[in-house]
A and B are shown apart, each in its own frame.
Chain A
Amino acid sequence: MRTRAHIVVSLMAAVTALVIAGCGGASDSVDGDDNTASGSGDGGRLSLVAYAVPKVGFDKVVPLFQKTPEGQGVTISQSYGASGDQSRKVENGLETDIVNFSLEPDITRLVKAGLVDEDWKDDKFNGIVSSSVVTLVVRKGNPKNIRDWDDVVKPGVKIINPNPFSSGSAKWNILAPYALKSDGGKNVDDGIDFVTKLIGNLEGQPKSGREATELFLQGAGDVLLSYENEALFAQRNGEPIEYVTPPTTFLIENPLAIVNKSKNPEKVQAFKDFLYSAEGQRAWGEAGFRPVDPEVAAEFDEFPPPEKLYTIADFGGWDKVNAELFDPDNGTIAKIYDQATS
């Protein structure tokens, strides 16, 4: 009898021991599905929390950084998800060293929480690490003949756009036609009318730009509102899609900031500097993002300038736009969205 009891106990002990033995290495190994060349961890570890789509970019940039003297042996663990959701997680205690979100308000939230310094924008690119433009992704051959914003709201065209309350991409995507139809914010009513029509044609509202692409690739919807880089990414993967950048569109600017509670401030600064360097910017360009460094951007010819490109500055910056249009309680677009979808 006694020995049998021991079997159970020793079985449990064995499992525990096995796992504890296994844990030793956990902290040293970090992602990189594609950058397995990453260091052994002796150069320190950084953690990055980012919005959903720039993984393609970081997959290129991180290994390059690890080849520099500063980046030698630094491991970078990464988390990707809907911009607003990721920002909320960091605000609520997810520990990290550096954040990269789709749009500024998600960083502003961390400034308010005391996690990011007030002066985070004071650098040579104003806190923006990468940019892109809003594009229309359609099925191969463009069966619904979608060329411009007016085609998107035609009856019977089903639109996929992520949820603007969690996704940054969704807000950029809505701002583009709003900018066009309101003539840069002059005729607010016309802009809102158009956005109302657009929201009426929405089919899905996944939480992030990445999940929106996935839903579209799985066959839902006729047109996907998306980042240009996301369209390029899907196209390079051989997906049966093509994309149209409408003549008038919007400049997407993705900010990056260092978290002031970082335990490894030198390395994280070195990483940020590398992301801003010509080499880092070139890597972003190769991943399909428009480099923010104009000299590097000039090296690429797959990023034709649209006829008219609005920027958030044209509308007085994100603080103003967010309060007027996207505030969950009072924003004009937020209200329309809530009425149509909740």
Chain B
Amino acid sequence: MVLDRKATLSLRALALGYLIILLLIPLLLIFFRTFEDGVAAFWAQVTTPASIAAIQLSLTIVAIAVPLNVIFGIVTALALARGRFPGRGIVQAIVDLPFAVSPVIVGVSLILLWGTGGWLGGLAGLGIQVIFSLPGMVLATIFVTLPFVVREVEPVLHEIGDEQEQAAATLGASRMQTFWRITLPAIRWGLVYGVVLTVARALGEFGALIVVSGAVSGESQTLTLLVHSRYIDDHNVFGAYAASTVLMAFAIVTLLLMTTLNRRRELE
């Protein structure tokens, strides 16, 4: 298809116009609103005890959810890529399931499973509080981020094949040695990419958390919940903008990492 200059230009204008109106202008506007009263005002909102506690809680959840997703994600990806077993297609579908489930439903299903009267609700009697407590928030985060590592690592495993692994095994390497020396280095960029996506999604999760969190500021309020609570409970719109800007900064770092990693992978 060869388009004349006029057609090219108008298509370009349409596409970029759509992006600019839908994405760029609102983003720039919130940056402007955040900093129109100077950096000091922004900083004051970001460093309140509640805000610092929220940032720490968000990071804590990431610190628990990401390693678990990495370990179990690699195991699942290996099982899917290297194993041939009945029901493999079903397992594939289960891994993709979290993409198709509304975050609110994730939260509700966790309450119905772990909350009072749920199948595993008895744990509360043993002093293990899951819902409205940190474990529930971690479970929700793991649920929504579960597919990322698997979906990034599995195709790489297919691509590299298992010749090297087999060779290592013939030479007498143990399974662990093979994994650490052969497999892990080969999947590293896919893994890192999966981790980046997991971290971004974990930091940004909101719908599932609002259902299972007690939202006590300083205790069980993540950064996203803080944004919501400042906007609704405090009527502190500026504070909500400020906290959003912090989250946006995380998002932009994620974007940069994604772009760099992609270029890197294409080079290899």
The 10 closest A-B pairs by CB, nearest first: A30-B218, A31-B50, A19-B63, A31-B217, A29-B49, A79-B216, A94-B132, A77-B218, A94-B214, A26-B56
B239 interfacial contact with A, CB 8 Å: yes
- Contact status A93-B56, CB under 8 Å: no
Tell me the count of chain A residues lying within 8 A, CB to CB, of chain B: 49
- Contact status B50-A93, CB under 8 Å: no
Output the residue of A7, A16, A92 with the most chain B CB within 10 A: A92
- Contact status B232-A210, CB under 8 Å: yes
Residues in chain B near residue A5, CB distance under 8 A:
180-181, 184-185, 188
Query: How far apart sit A36 and B192, CA to CA, in the bound complex (Å)?
Result: 39
Sample of 17 more A-B contacts, CB < 8 Å, known A31-B48, A77-B219, A79-B215: A30-B50, A31-B50, A31-B217, A32-B48, A33-B239, A38-B49, A47-B219, A49-B216, A55-B233, A55-B234, A79-B214, A81-B215, A81-B233, A91-B116, A92-B115, A93-B124, A94-B216
Nearest residue, chain A, Cβ from B51: A33
> What are some 25 contacts across the A-B interface (CB < 8 A)?
A1-B181, A4-B185, A5-B180, A5-B181, A7-B188, A19-B62, A22-B56, A27-B219, A29-B49, A29-B50, A30-B53, A31-B217, A31-B218, A33-B48, A33-B236, A36-B48, A36-B49, A77-B217, A78-B218, A79-B216, A92-B132, A93-B124, A94-B216, A210-B232, A214-B232
Residues in chain A near residue B59, CB distance under 8 A:
18-19, 22-23
Nearest residue, chain A, Cβ from B219: A77
B80 interfacial contact with A, CB 8 Å: no
Q: How far is the CB of B198 from chain A (nearest CB, A)?
A: 11
Q: Mark B212-234, 1 if CB is under 8 A from A, else 0.
A: 00111111110000000111111
Query: How far apart sit A16 and B64, CA to CA, in the bound complex (Å)?
Result: 8
B52 interfacial contact with A, CB 8 Å: yes
Nearest residue, chain B, Cβ from A234: B235
Residues in chain B near residue A23, CB distance under 8 A:
56, 59-60
Residues in chain B near residue A7, CB distance under 8 A:
188
- Contact status B188-A8, CB under 8 Å: yes
B57 interfacial contact with A, CB 8 Å: yes
Query: How far apart sit A80 and B220, CA to CA, in the bound complex (Å)?
Result: 12
B81 interfacial contact with A, CB 8 Å: no
Query: How far apart sit A96 and B132, CA to CA, in the bound complex (Å)?
Result: 11
- Picked from A18, A22, A26, A211, the residue with its CB within 8 Å of the CB of B232 is A211
- Contact status A4-B188, CB under 8 Å: yes
Report B45-86 residues with CB < 8 Å from chain A CB. Answer: 45, 48-53, 56-57, 59-60, 62-63, 66-67, 70
Residues in chain B near residue A52, CB distance under 8 A:
233
Residues in chain A near residue B185, CB distance under 8 A:
1-2, 4-5
Residues in chain A near residue B188, CB distance under 8 A:
4-5, 7-8
Given contacts A1-B181, A5-B188, A16-B63, whether A92 and B131 have CB atoms under 8 Å apart is: yes
A15 interfacial contact with B, CB 8 Å: yes
Report B84-136 residues with CB < 8 Å from chain A CB. Answer: 115-116, 124, 129, 131-133
Q: How many pairs of residues, A versus B, come closer than 8 Å at their CB atoms?
A: 137
Query: How far apart sit A210 and B230, CA to CA, in the bound complex (Å)?
Result: 12
Tell me the count of chain B residues lying within 8 A, CB to CB, of chain A: 49
Residues in chain B near residue A12, CB distance under 8 A:
66-67, 70, 195
Query: How far apart sit A49 and B216, CA to CA, in the bound complex (Å)?
Result: 7
- Contact status A32-B214, CB under 8 Å: no
Residues in chain A near residue B184, CB distance under 8 A:
5, 8
Query: How far apart sit A11 and B217, CA to CA, in the bound complex (Å)?
Result: 30
- Picked from A16, A29, A92, A210, the residue with its CB within 8 Å of the CB of B116 is A92
Residues in chain B near residue A237, CB distance under 8 A:
235
Residues in chain A near residue B208, CB distance under 8 A:
none
Given contacts A16-B67, A93-B124, A94-B132, whether A47 and B236 have CB atoms under 8 Å apart is: no
- Contact status A29-B53, CB under 8 Å: yes
Residues in chain A near residue B142, CB distance under 8 A:
none
B197 interfacial contact with A, CB 8 Å: no
Given contacts A1-B181, A7-B188, A92-B132, whether A25 and B214 have CB atoms under 8 Å apart is: no
- Contact status A25-B52, CB under 8 Å: yes
- Contact status B239-A75, CB under 8 Å: no
A95 interfacial contact with B, CB 8 Å: yes
Query: How far apart sit A33 and B242, CA to CA, in the bound complex (Å)?
Result: 13
Query: How far apart sit A28 and B183, CA to CA, in the bound complex (Å)?
Result: 43
A308 interfacial contact with B, CB 8 Å: no
Residues in chain A near residue B220, CB distance under 8 A:
79
Query: How far apart sit A29 and B50, CA to CA, in the bound complex (Å)?
Result: 7
Q: How far is the CB of A56 from chain B (nearest CB, A)?
A: 9
Nearest residue, chain A, Cβ from B61: A19
Residues in chain A near residue B57, CB distance under 8 A:
26
- Contact status B235-A80, CB under 8 Å: no
Residues in chain A near residue B209, CB distance under 8 A:
none
- Contact status B214-A89, CB under 8 Å: yes
Q: How far is the CB of A224 from chain B (nearest CB, A)?
A: 14
Q: How far is the CB of B215 from chain A (nearest CB, A)?
A: 5
Query: How far apart sit A211 and B233, CA to CA, in the bound complex (Å)?
Result: 8
Q: How far is the CB of A262 from chain B (nearest CB, A)?
A: 14
Residues in chain B near residue A120, CB distance under 8 A:
none
Residues in chain A near residue B231, CB distance under 8 A:
214
- Contact status A19-B60, CB under 8 Å: yes
Nearest residue, chain A, Cβ from B70: A12
Query: How far apart sit A19 and B236, CA to CA, in the bound complex (Å)?
Result: 28
Q: How far is the CB of A139 from chain B (nearest CB, A)?
A: 18
- Picked from A8, A22, A26, the residue with its CB within 8 Å of the CB of B192 is A8
